[in-house]
Amino acid sequence: AKGAGKNQWRRYRADLHGAMVERLELRSALDHAAREGLFLLAYQPIVDLGTDEPVGYEALVRWHHPSRGVVQPAEFIEVAEESGLIVPMGRWVLEQALHTVGQWRRILPRSRQPYVSVNVSVRQFREAGFVDEIKRALARAGVPPHALMLELDETALAPEHEAVWEHLADLREHGVRIAIDYFGPGLDGRPLDVVKIDKSAIDDIAQSQDQLARVQQMVALSRQYGLTVIAEGIESTTHRDLLAWLGCPLGQGYLFSSPVDGTEALSQMTKRLPL
């Protein structure tokens, strides 16, 4: 029994060591990817649930790995946050997304010109001058501020990030739209335009009356706060129809389209979504 305990400990130490080595390797691979320009953006339509037309696109980062192919953000965002790499990576994402939406808007008729929604980490706001950087990037890309939306997650509501909201209020006054990828307490009185309802809340609305009622509550409350709602993770026409019936104006999900490259997104806007 004593030997078994010792073996367990050894295995534990080996696993821990393995995990640390893996993280370090991931970190240096990411640094390399950033230097070599190996990130790319996928775009997912944000759809008007009344017309099934895209009104905007969320930019989602991917890593083009030389041997593993396209790596999803779930595998590297956390490490990028910890290492601080999220700052230069986020700068590139913003620059690239604005460049692309600028091109789209120059090609498309006014009534179809989309906005682009970019995920930002609170970490990026700790860099001095981030707000000015965004304003300059908009000007450089020739994109009006209302064609940019910034998406934050609920970590932004933590008490230690109070200063971030002053920067957000500044950007919002400039015309940039601010979205939060979270529904719950703490949204009242924030400089926000849009609340995104998570896929986990949407998943069961067709099976559960209670869940449907909860989502109805979220839509109603968001309205009271003067916020627009985007429902995430719409995978079926039943989801879409129920949400439209609840008065949810906008949605996103595989029913409409998974994230696609910029060329494909443009063709979705010139034709129709492949529903």
**Which residues make up the interface to Ca ion (CB under 5 A)?**
119, 151, 181, 198
Task: Identify what 60 binds: ligand C2E, Ca ion, none; CB under 5 to 8 Å per kind.
Answer: ligand C2E
- Give the integer Cα–Cα distance in Å for 204 and 244: 16
Min dist. Cβ of residue 86 to ligand C2E (A): 6
Shorter beta-carbon distance to ligand C2E: residue 195 or 234 = 234
- Give the integer Cα–Cα distance in Å for 28 and 102: 33
Min dist. Cβ of residue 161 to Ca ion (A): 17
Kindly report the backbone phi and psi dihedral angles of residue 272, in degrees, each rounded to the nearest multiple of 5, phi listed first: -135, 165
Min dist. Cβ of residue 214 to ligand C2E (A): 19
- Give the integer Cα–Cα distance in Å for 56 and 146: 11
Task: Identify what 252 binds: Ca ion, ligand C2E, none; CB under 5 to 8 Å per kind.
Answer: ligand C2E
Residue whose token pair is 């979205």: 179
Footprint of ligand C2E on this chain (CB under 6 A)?
44, 60-61, 72-74, 77, 86, 90, 93, 119, 121, 181, 199, 233-235, 252-254, 259
Q: CA angle, 105 as apex, 101 and 107 as ends, to 5°?
A: 120
Min dist. Cβ of residue 93 to ligand C2E (A): 4
Long-range contacts of 69-72 (CB under 8 A, 24+ apart): 70/40
- Give the integer Cα–Cα distance in Å for 36 and 46: 31
Task: Identify what 197 binds: Ca ion, ligand C2E, none; CB under 5 to 8 Å per kind.
Answer: none
Shorter beta-carbon distance to ligand C2E: residue 100 or 119 = 119
